């Protein structure tokens, strides 16, 4: 079974600085998707960025980028120029790309989350 | 589209009562998921449906929990009888398998359930 591990329960960063959140995963599959979700105090789950395992290029979305190391099964999130609004819980998630009898296995497997505080 | 809609946003009930949580997925999505979030266990997948059919309910904690999806636009999760340890935030999410680009799940705002 696949697992996702986030080893940093809490992180803190100064406004305008850069912070990196860690995520590792375990899978025997070769084709899958990885995601970072943000959950602010409103508790809404918001997709931050996605990465397809077959792509070597790291995904980037404005101030958010990932460092995807497939061999090491590592998927870290870098937030540049941190803003107060970035303060939230961040979850790393894995989704298989395998097509099963019932259709693509779309279920997301989540890590335990990293609570990010942004200091003014 | 209004996104995934869950109701109610908050529910407080007494132990032993039946609780029903509701979800309307995004129109056109063929997958629907129910997750539970607690401080101790994080986000747990309870059950998911594909084209209204339950695919995997191995995450449903006990027989007190049941979920149905009578049509493509509605699902409910029932707890009967409820217990204090069921207190959590319950999320519904939906996704589509029709596009390789939109691989993520879209979440509702969750229902915070408190059983006293």
Query: Tens of pLDDT along B71-110?
Result: 999 999 999 999 999 999 999 999 887 655 556 889 999 9
**Residues B20, B24, B28, B31, CA torsion sign:** negative
Between residues B75 and B40, the one the model is more confident about? B75
Is-contact A70 A3, C-beta < 8 A?
no
Smallest CA–CA separation between B42 and chain A, in Å?
Answer: 5
pLDDT for the residue B96: 84
In this complex, which of B45, B51, B106 lies closest to A107 when CB atoms are compared? B45
Beta-carbon pairs below 8 A across chains A and B = 55
Q: Are B34 and B46 in contact (CB under 8 A)?
A: yes
User: CA torsion sign, B8 to B12 to B15 to B17?
Assistant: negative
The vertex-A84 CA angle with A78 and A85, nearest 5°, equals: 80
Which residues in chain A are closer than 8 Å to B36, comparing Cβ atoms? Answer: none
Q: Touching check for A108 and chain B: CB below 8 Å?
A: yes
User: Within 10 Å of residue A101's Cβ, how many Cβ atoms?
Assistant: 6
Question: Smallest Cα–Cα separation from A90: which of A66, A71, A107, A120?
Answer: A66
pLDDT band for position B17 (50/70/90)? very high
Residues of chain A with pLDDT under 50: none
Query: Are A113 and B110 within 8 A, CB to CB?
Result: no
- CA B19 to each of CA A96, B12, B44, B51, B98: distance values in angstroms, whole numbers, following the listed order: 32, 9, 19, 25, 33
* Chain B interface disruption, residue of A32, A107, A109, most B CBs within 10 A: A107
């Amino acid at each position: 079974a696949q697992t996702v591990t986030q080893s940093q329960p809490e992180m803190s960063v100064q406004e305008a600085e850069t912070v990196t959140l860690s995520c590792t995963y375990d899978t025997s599959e070769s084709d899958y998707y990885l995601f970072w979700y943000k959950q602010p105090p409103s508790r809404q789950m918001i997709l931050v960025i996605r990465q397809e395992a077959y792509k070597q290029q790291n995904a980037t979305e404005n101030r958010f980028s990932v460092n995807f190391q497939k061999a090491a099964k590592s998927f870290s999130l870098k937030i540049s120029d941190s803003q107060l609004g970035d303060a939230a819980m961040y979850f790393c998630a894995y989704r298989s790309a395998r097509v099963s009898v019932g259709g693509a296995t779309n279920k997301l497997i989540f890590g335990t989350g990293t609570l990010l505080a942004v200091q003014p | 589209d209004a996104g995934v809609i869950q109701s109610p946003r908050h529910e407080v009930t007494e132990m032993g009562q039946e609780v029903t949580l509701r979800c309307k997925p995004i129109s056109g999505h063929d997958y629907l998921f129910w997750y539970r979030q607690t401080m101790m266990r994080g986000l747990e997948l309870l059950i998911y449906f594909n084209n209204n059919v339950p695919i995997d309910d191995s995450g449903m904690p006990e027989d007190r929990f049941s979920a149905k999806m009578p049509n493509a636009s509605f699902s409910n999760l029932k707890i009967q009888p409820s217990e204090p340890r069921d207190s959590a935030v319950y999320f519904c999410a939906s996704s589509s398998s029709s596009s390789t680009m939109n691989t993520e799940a879209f979440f509702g705002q969750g229902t915070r359930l408190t059983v006293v």
